[in-house]
Chain A
Amino acid sequence: AQSVTQPDIHITVSEGASLELRCNYSYGATPYLFWYVQSPGQGLQLLLKYFSGDTLVQGIKGFEAEFKRSQSSFNLRKPSVHWSDAAEYFCAVGAGNFGNEKLTFGTGTRLTIIP
């Protein structure tokens, strides 16, 4: 069965500093991997997705993630965070057509931005 681990429950970063959110997955085949962001009162929004090809994936809002098969990781990065990045971030692994039919989520990482 597929699973996702996000080891950091809560991370605090100063505005303008760099960010890395960790994600480890367990999946028997080549995984479809996702990062979502959830802001209060809003639905989950897809930041980026890996499904093949280049292991460094660019997403929206200046985020990127790197797929490392040897480490079973898909860490999310941003070189300089903005106060508006404060939110809950979920890593997920998918199965089915394009990985979109059965998403398994991690427990999430809450990001706090301090001025």
Chain B
Amino acid sequence: GAVVSQHPSRVICKSGTSVKIECRSLDFQATTMFWYRQFPKQSLMLMATSNEGSKATYEQGVEKDKFLINHASLTLSTLTVTSAHPEDSSFYICSASWFGRGAHGDNEQFFGPGTRLTVL
């Protein structure tokens, strides 16, 4: 497989502040990174897809001005939650892919361990 890390693993912040979450592919270069959100006892919901050097593509209903995504290098993508509010509290998961790296020689997504965001 391939290793994807996220930092921090857990963050607590006050309402109105901004929080940045990092997603790194440790042993491969990722042309595409994905950001998901997971509410308790619910499935992962894709928020956005980012390709290195390009603007992220956001899913319908996701506020691009609130969830800023930067994919500046082949190993790093960041998600910034701006002016966070309690309803933004959630588990944020990233994944990364590179064509040919997957078990079937495809662009399988490799997932990070997630970041738990709590907004007070």
Contacts and interface: CB of A to CB of B under 8 A. Distances in A.
Interface stretch (A14-22, A66-74, A75-83, A101-109): A101-109
Interface in B100-120: 102-104, 106-114
A43 B114 contact: yes
Contacts, number: 61
Given A44-B93, A90-B44, A107-B42, A100 B108 contact: yes
A102 B46 contact: yes
Nearest to B32: A101
B97 interface: yes
B43 A43 contact: no
A84 interface: no
Chain B's interface size range is 20 to 34
Q: Is the interface of B mostly helix, strand, loop or mixed?
A: loop
Contacts of A43: 4, 93, 95, 110-114
A46 B103 CA distance: 9
Interface in A84-115: 90, 97-98, 100-108
B1 interface: yes
Contact of B43 (A46, A49, A90, A101): A90
B49 interface: yes
A45 B109 CA distance: 9
